[in-house]
């Protein structure tokens, strides 16, 4: 049977109130008493029950984290940083992989509310999910506009899209296509497309965007089929970019002489597995830091005036595909 405070008190020869005083460093405590209590806890392998404690203090130090999947290099790295920073501040992360499914997202939101989490960080599917506006529960979005009242942290998607497109133009591309996710997602990443379109028009070039959702391969093949003279592709995601590289090679295109590719994200994993890919690198650790900072402020009710949108600078990494 798991030891509780009364068992520690018995072994230490003090009262349960005194054990609680030692645990919380509250009230007067003699050094000898403190020592005896710690020894008793060690002897019994006693751990305070945070469940009971949370019930009383009405705080769980839990943060719900909802993203599509840890399998994706960007999310995997982002979630790593979020958890790491949260842990360093004494918070615990409840992981939720929504896989872009609205019903799973809702299910997770209900679960997080039942579990009395102190806050939520979400960067999942959002179309149709209105449940993020929860009274008295701080939520911060990453790369997602979840609600008018919820702060958002993202990279400078517009600048990233601008730099990517400009690079391709500067390198001589004229038939430049953009590949992005579905535009119905309310995400700052749509600014990548906006920037691409603006820069193309500024250069008297015709902007064309392909949207993917799920099967990148099919969309990429269709793109090459429909626009065989494409000479540059700005993919809004490194995984899409890598599929583009493969398809281009299959069709005998010479990268970068005859055909150039640039992606977006620049994660650790991508840099390791596909270092030749030019990309717009997101400041993932900074995004995580800022997200946690804003969330903790809201949890502590210190920042109702948090800036609603935080945009962090990206970095162009030019490699061998441009």
Q: In what order do the strands lie in the sheet with 176-180?
A: 208-211, 176-180, 232-235, 260-265, 278-281, 315-317
Q: Where are the beta strands (DSSP E) in 160-286?
A: 176-180, 208-211, 232-235, 260-265, 278-281
Coil, helix or strand at residue 247: helix
Dump the DSSP string for 127-174: TT--TT--TT--EEEES----TTS-EEEE-HHHHHHHHHHHHHHTT--
16 lies in the site for DNA, by CB under 7 A: yes
Partner whose footprint covers residue 21, from a copy of itself, DNA, none (CB < 5 to 8 Å by kind): DNA
Among 12, 36, 66, 77, binds a copy of itself (CB under 8 A): 77
Part of the chain binding DNA (CB under 7 A), chosen from 8-16, 140-148, 170-178, 238-246:
8-16
Cα(315)–Cα(127) distance, integer angstroms: 29
Contacts for 245 with CB less than 8 Å, ≥ 6 apart: 255, 261, 274, 277, 321
Of 53-72, binders to DNA (CB under 7 A) are 53, 55-58
Minimum distance of DNA from residue 21's CB (angstroms) = 7
Partner whose footprint covers residue 281, from a copy of itself, DNA, none (CB < 5 to 8 Å by kind): none
Of 212-241, binders to a copy of itself (CB under 8 A) are 238-239
Partner whose footprint covers residue 23, from a copy of itself, DNA, none (CB < 5 to 8 Å by kind): DNA
| Contacting residues toward DNA, per CB under 7 A | 2, 4-6, 13-18, 20-21, 23-24, 26-33, 48-49, 52-53, 55-58
| Contacting residues toward a copy of itself, per CB under 8 A | 2, 45, 47-52, 54-55, 60, 65, 69-73, 76-77, 79-80, 83-84, 87, 92-97, 99, 104, 108, 110-111, 113-116, 135-136, 238-239, 242-243, 246, 267-270, 272-275
């Amino acid at each position: 049977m798991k030891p509780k405070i009364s068992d520690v008190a018995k072994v230490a020869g003090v009262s349960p109130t005194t054990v609680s005083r030692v645990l919380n460093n509250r009230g007067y405590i003699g050094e000898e008493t403190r020592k005896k209590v710690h020894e008793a806890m060690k002897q019994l392998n006693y751990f305070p029950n945070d469940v009971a404690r949370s019930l009383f203090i009405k705080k769980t130090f839990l943060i719900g984290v909802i993203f599509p999947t840890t399998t994706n290099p960007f999310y995997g790295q982002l979630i790593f940083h979020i958890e790491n920073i949260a842990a360093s501040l004494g918070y615990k992360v409840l992981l939720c992989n929504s896989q872009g499914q609205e019903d799973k997202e809702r299910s997770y939101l209900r679960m997080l509310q039942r579990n009395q989490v102190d806050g939520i960080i979400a960067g999942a599917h959002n179309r149709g999910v209105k449940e993020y506006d929860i009274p008295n529960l701080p939520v911060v979005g990453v790369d997602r506009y979840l609600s008018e009242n919820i702060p958002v942290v993202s990279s400078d998607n517009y600048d990233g899209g601008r730099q990517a497109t400009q690079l391709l133009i500067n390198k001589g591309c004229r038939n430049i296509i953009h590949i992005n996710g579905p535009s119905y997602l309310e995400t700052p990443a749509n600014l990548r497309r906006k920037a691409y379109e603006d820069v193309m028009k500024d250069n008297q070039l015709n902007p064309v965007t392909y949207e993917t959702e799920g099967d990148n391969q099919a969309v990429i093949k269709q793109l090459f089929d429909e626009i065989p003279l494409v000479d540059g592709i700005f993919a809004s995601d490194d995984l899409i970019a890598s599929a583009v590289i493969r398809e281009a090679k299959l069709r005998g295109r010479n990268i970068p002489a005859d055909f150039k590719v640039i992606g977006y994200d620049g994660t650790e994993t991508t840099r390791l597995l596909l270092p030749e890919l030019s990309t717009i690198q997101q400041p993932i650790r900074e995004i995580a830091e800022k997200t946690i900072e804003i969330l903790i402020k809201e949890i502590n009710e210190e920042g109702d005036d948090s800036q609603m949108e935080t945009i962090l600078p990206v970095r162009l990494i030019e490699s061998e595909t441009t």
